[in-house]
């Protein structure tokens, strides 16, 4: 297996995809299929599930001669440390040799003589993880919002509590956070200010989620200009970062379970 990312923007995106993964899981299985890269994992508290999908054509080179999928069990903290050493001008090369199947070889190279090449050997591990089949469901409400704006709001709401209460109607979206001693923060989003918004006719939705987990998801906001948020009553929130406007399947998807409201 030989995978190359030479386009600077894509190389930056690839590094950003793994930058905050350690906040969710210590280890992850990255699957290199014949025509795409895929991973699915769950956080340690079993509150969220995340999936990454990158078609082979997204990469500048994607060579896969193995007869079947190549599962690479990686330590997310160590992977972050390696990717964090890359200079902005450097090309990323990932090599897996079946004859030396206990390592992933990672190289950062550049034509810039002032930037020195770097080479790493990342130890691999056998991880037992059964992929979950997540059904496609029609959502009750969905909207698109600038990633940075939403991430900033979530970070501010987190200062006032551990839970975000989201209410969606045909007129507006309201987000609240409150706790005893810290007060309350409310955010009203006029639907006319959104790029896209859809909700079932006459629907009023009220859902609550962990602000800590949502804040961790929003930490990836730099990978995409906008994020899609899809809501279904009593089901996980679905958040999608689209990684390439020309490739629908190039995306990061997060599922965050709602908090149970006794009321």
Per-domain boundaries in the chain: 2-123, 141-256
Determine the straight-line distance between the first and last CA of the chain, rounded to whole angstroms: 53
User: pTM score, two decimals?
Assistant: 0.95
Tens digit of pLDDT for each residue in 209-244?
999 999 999 999 999 999 999 999 999 999 999 999
Confidence category of residue 180, pLDDT binned at 50, 70, 90: confident
3-class SS at 68? coil
Task: Tell me 160's DSSP state.
Answer: T
Mean pLDDT of 116-124: 98
3-class SS at 63? strand
Question: What is the pLDDT, as a whole number, of residue 212?
Answer: 96
- How many residues can be counted in the chain? 263
Are the C-beta atoms of 138 and 203 separated by less than 8 Å? no
Are the C-beta atoms of 96 and 105 separated by less than 8 Å? yes
Domain spanning 2-123: CATH 3.10.150.10: yes
Write out the DSSP string of 167-211. Answer: EE-SSEEEEEEEETTTEEEEEEEEGGGSSEEEE-TT--EEEEEEH
Name the strand (E) or helix (H) holding 71. strand 70-75
Give the number of other CB atoms < 10 A from CB of residue 6: 15
Residue 46: both structure tokens together = 């079993």
Residue 50: both structure tokens together = 């995340």
| Mean of the per-residue pLDDT values of the chain | 95
Radius of gyration of the chain (CA): 20
Confidence category of residue 262, pLDDT binned at 50, 70, 90: low
Tens digit of pLDDT for each residue in 8-19?
999 999 999 999
Residue 4: both structure tokens together = 């190359």
Tens digit of pLDDT for each residue in 38-85?
999 999 889 999 999 999 999 999 999 888 899 999 999 999 999 999
Question: What is the pLDDT, as a whole number, of residue 129?
Answer: 78
Give the number of other CB atoms < 10 A from CB of residue 216: 21
Which CATH topology does 141-256 take? Answer: Proliferating Cell Nuclear Antigen (3.70.10)
Give 54's Cβ-side CA count (13 Å radius).
20
């Amino acid at each position: 297996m030989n995978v190359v990312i030479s386009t600077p923007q894509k190389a930056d995106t690839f590094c950003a995809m793994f930058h905050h993964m350690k906040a969710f899981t210590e280890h992850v299985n990255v699957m290199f299929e014949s025509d795409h890269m895929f991973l699915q994992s769950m956080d340690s508290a079993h509150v969220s599930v995340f999936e990454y999908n990158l078609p082979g054509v997204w990469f500048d080179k994607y060579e896969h001669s193995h007869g079947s999928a190549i599962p690479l069990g990686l330590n997310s903290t160590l992977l972050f440390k390696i990717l964090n050493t890359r200079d902005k001008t450097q090309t990323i090369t990932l090599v897996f040799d079946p004859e030396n199947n206990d390592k992933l070889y990672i190289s950062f190279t550049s034509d810039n003589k002032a930037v020195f090449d770097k080479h790493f050997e990342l130890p691999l591990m056998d991880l037992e993880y059964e992929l979950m089949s997540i059904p496609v469901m029609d959502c009750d409400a969905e909207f698109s919002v600038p990633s940075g704006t939403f991430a900033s709001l979530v970070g501010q709401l987190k200062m006032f509590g551990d839970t975000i209460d989201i209410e969606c109607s045909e007129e507006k979206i309201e987000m609240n956070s409150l706790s005893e001693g810290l007060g309350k923060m409310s955010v009203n989003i006029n639907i006319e200010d959104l790029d896209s918004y859809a909700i079932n006719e006459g629907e009023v939705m009220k859902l609550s989620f962990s602000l800590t987990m949502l804040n961790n998801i929003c930490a990836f906001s730099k990978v995409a200009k906008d994020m899609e948020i899809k809501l279904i009553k009593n089901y996980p929130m679905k958040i999608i970062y689209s990684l390439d406007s020309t490739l629908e399947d190039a995306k990061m998807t997060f599922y965050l379970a709602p908090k149970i409201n006794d009321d």
